[in-house]
Amino acid sequence: MVAETWSARELLNAGWSEADLAWEAAAERAAAAAAQDNYVLAKDEAGRALQLARTDFEPIDPRLGTSLANYGLCLSLLGHSGAVAPLFREALDVWRRADPWIARMDAPRIARSSLFHMRMEALHRDTYRARWQERWQEMADEAKARILALDAGHGAPGITGLESLARWRRERPAMLNDTRKLMAASFLLLAPEALTAED
């Protein structure tokens, strides 16, 4: 995969900071290391992401919640299970308090193939944004369920990094926008899929 490069002007125009981009890169490196069962490196990268999130992001930013959960999972995989329960609880608390952060998100403007589609999006902006709000809430609900499953000790953490990384690389938006921040927080969360009632 080719590394992305963004100029300072592009970051500024998109409403991103260098910390936003650095967090995403560290979280992706943590997932890549976990996918290769290199939990020492995964812990180090998850620790970098956590430090950035604590320093540069709001306390209700879902990326902070993901950072806490990922760092806790990496500690657990390295045998330090005694220190992880508070991290998982704090991660879940951040995600539960993230609604105001999500409510401020801007719906992405997507390039359309026709003037008709562009006009329809402009005319029905509120509907378009409401649909995105539903999608964003689904991502947040999924992340909360996965952290709950992680805290309960469910799942197969050894394959979690691979699944997270594959999903992120498959679905990551090409543009720097609010949706990409939330998708990174949700998809780079190393917690396993939540178990359903049928499981």
Q: What are 105's two structure tokens? A: 């998100």
Residue 158 has pLDDT above 80, yes or no: no
Across 36-45, 76-85, 108-117, 129-138, least confident range: 108-117
**Average pLDDT of the residues in 71-77:** 92
Look at residue 196 and tell me if it is in a domain.
no
Range of the domain at 134: 16-187
Q: pLDDT tens digits, residue range 21-44?
A: 999 999 999 999 999 999 999 999
Across 16-25, 79-88, 107-116, 189-198, least confident range: 107-116
Residue 143 has pLDDT above 90, yes or no: yes
Look at residue 67 and tell me if it is in a domain.
yes
Q: pLDDT tens digits, residue range 109-128?
A: 554 555 655 566 666 567 66
Look at residue 81 and tell me if it is in a domain.
yes
User: Which H or E run includes 115?
Assistant: helix 115-123
Look at residue 131 and tell me if it is in a domain.
yes
Q: How far apart are CA 159 and CA 77, in angstroms?
A: 12
Look at residue 3 and tell me if it is in a domain.
no
Amino acid 1: pLDDT: 47
**Average pLDDT of the residues in 185-195:** 81
Look at residue 122 and tell me if it is in a domain.
yes
Look at residue 9 and tell me if it is in a domain.
no
155: left (phi over 0), alpha (psi -120 to 50) or beta: left
* Inter-residue contact 85 to 99 (CB < 8 Å): no
Q: What's the structural domain count of the chain?
A: 1
Amino acid 123: pLDDT: 62
- φ, ψ of residue 110 in degrees (nearest 5): -105, 135
**Average pLDDT of the residues in 63-91:** 92
Look at residue 124 and tell me if it is in a domain.
yes
